[in-house]
Amino acid sequence: MKKALVAILLVMLLVAAGAAGMAWTRLQTPYKGYDGIEQFVEIPVGAGAADIRTRLLDAGVVQDALTLRLALHWTGASRDLQAGEYRFDRPMTAVEVVDKIARGDVYGQRITFAEGLTIRDMAAHYESRGLGRAREFIEASGNTSLIRDLDPAATDLEGYLFPDTYTVGRKAVASKLVEQMVAGFRAAFPANQPQTGQALSTRELVTLASLIEKETGKAEERTIVSAVYRNRLRRGMGMQADPTVVYALQKRGKYDGNIRKEDLLIDSPYNTYRYRGLPPGPIASPGKASLEAAFKPADVDYLFFVSRNDGSHVFSRTLTEHNRNVQEFQVRYFQKRGAVKSN
């Protein structure tokens, strides 16, 4: 009797060992049941275990339900699976698949928006990357509820879409990307930083920062350009900023890459040659450095500046000095270039 019990026990142990061995083999054997070089699996927010299993099985990422159940039990990650889009591009064990989803290793591609872009510029870039249609981005950029506490007067998110690099899925939902960009702006905006000189509203600060961003790419010039515009504001002078004319022309679909003398007369509130003070809103998205420069301008009394045509500017205090600089760095410069070309 004892020998029979021992034999039965040995058989049970052997069967258990065999089952354990098979289970271990299942867990450790890489599997790829889909055609092509990659497979994407979308796990929605709130998806249950049964839904996740179905999605992984249908996608050919794991071999069968039993193997997946074993992997979930082995890892103890049943409650840790995270929503998102996952990319699989090689044979993987069931344990690796579960671990990938538990870590939230979602698929993402990066899109970079440079400083100084307008909403339409960003929308065109968004579409060029194959992430969605430009009009979807423009429509999403009309959601002013995202900044109502900062700028109740805003009619769109011009200036509030922070230029940075963002990680998105294969198809970036425009509204979600715009929310990320506004969050980036909030993180970069020095709201608690005291201003130097006259106090400006958030909208005025962002507008000023957008002018700074469009006028100079030189880090050392940003605070000086800021000072020029603040000095002109204080004196009630016009900003006379070419980028505002460009923006006015763009809004009417009339900008072809050049500003002509007659363009300075365009009747638009954004034309700071025709209307004094800052334009009614931002003309582009400023970066962090320009935002900070808007808050803290340099302690200088310059009122004018003109391009040296090498990316830098020469600044002056009086109109006489400015006119002299214009003659040297603009009139004579282009006369010389014309002479060289004619030769």
Over residues 267-281, the pLDDT tens digits come to 999 999 999 999 999
Beta strand pairing call for 165-168 and 304-307: unpaired
Q: Give the pLDDT confidence score for residue 69 in this predicted structure.
A: 86
What would the CATH number be for the domain defined by 22-102?
A: 3.30.1490.480
User: Nearest-CA neighbor of 74 among 56, 96, 54?
Assistant: 96
User: CATH 3.30.160 spans which residues of the chain?
Assistant: 303-343
Distance of alpha carbon 101 from the chain centroid:
25
- Dist CA 45 CA 84 (whole Å): 7
Our separate counts of H helices and E strands in the chain read 13, 6
The pLDDT of residue 1 is 58
Measuring CA to CA, how many Å separate 214 from each of 46, 262, 295, 311?
A: 44, 21, 17, 12
> Tokens at residue 85, please?
């889009």
Write down the pLDDT at residue 3: 53
pLDDT of amino acid 337: 65
Tell me which residue has tokens 């002299």: 324
**Residue for token pair 């450095």:** 289
- Which pLDDT tens digit goes with each residue over 188-242? 998 777 777 778 999 999 999 999 999 998 999 999 999 999 999 999 999 999 9
- Span 303-343 CATH architecture: 2-Layer Sandwich (3.30)
Domain with CATH 3.30.1490.480 in the chain: 22-102
Intervals of the chain under pLDDT 50:
6-7, 10-11, 13-21, 339-343
